[in-house]
Amino acid sequence: MTRDDIPAVATLERIVYPEPWSARVFYDELERDNRRYFVVDDHGTIVGYGGLLLVQDDAHVTTLAVDPAVRRRRLGTRLLLTLVEAALEAGARHLTLEVRVSNVDAQRLYERFGFQPVGRRKGYYRDEDALVMWAIDIDDDAYASRLGEIRAELGEVER
């Protein structure tokens, strides 16, 4: 993600989330050294984005969104794979995130990547609790094998 992408990202943010981040939040995030943000560009249109916060050997998935008009094309899987790979490149050993308790589709995606629920944050969202999920030991051989299977399903080459 670049600063030039932010207007489109902010527009998509308002479509996807009931409590959207402002464009200013994205500008601020891009300025921080311990953040990584990516976009999915579909023929010149941004249809997805995701971000990471890196702290020592932990990485926190701060956001992940795909335009509802292009869902079911495995873009969320590709985007999460990119986030995991960025976390690994930065030296992360564990990943965490929060997800709405009602967002079962997202939870299934995260579980494919080894995330397991470990708790609940009451009132994390204005209108709903969040499920806290962690994927630990993402730097071990078993997790590398998991990522290899996901890449193979996507028809991607091993990195």
Query: Which helix H or strand E contains 1, and what residues bound it?
Result: none
CA dihedral 39, 13, 101, 51 (to 10 degrees): 30
Task: Determine the 3-state secondary structure of 43 from DSSP.
Answer: coil
Q: Is 98 a catalytic residue?
A: yes
Which candidate, 113, 132, 114, places its Cα nearest to that of 122? Answer: 132
37, 49, 110, 143: the catalytic one is 110
Q: Is 110 a catalytic residue?
A: yes
Sheet holding 45-55, edge to edge: 35-42, 45-55, 58-66, 94-100, 128-135, 116-125
Catalytic member of 13, 37, 49, 98: 98
Question: Which residues are known catalytic residues?
Answer: 98, 110
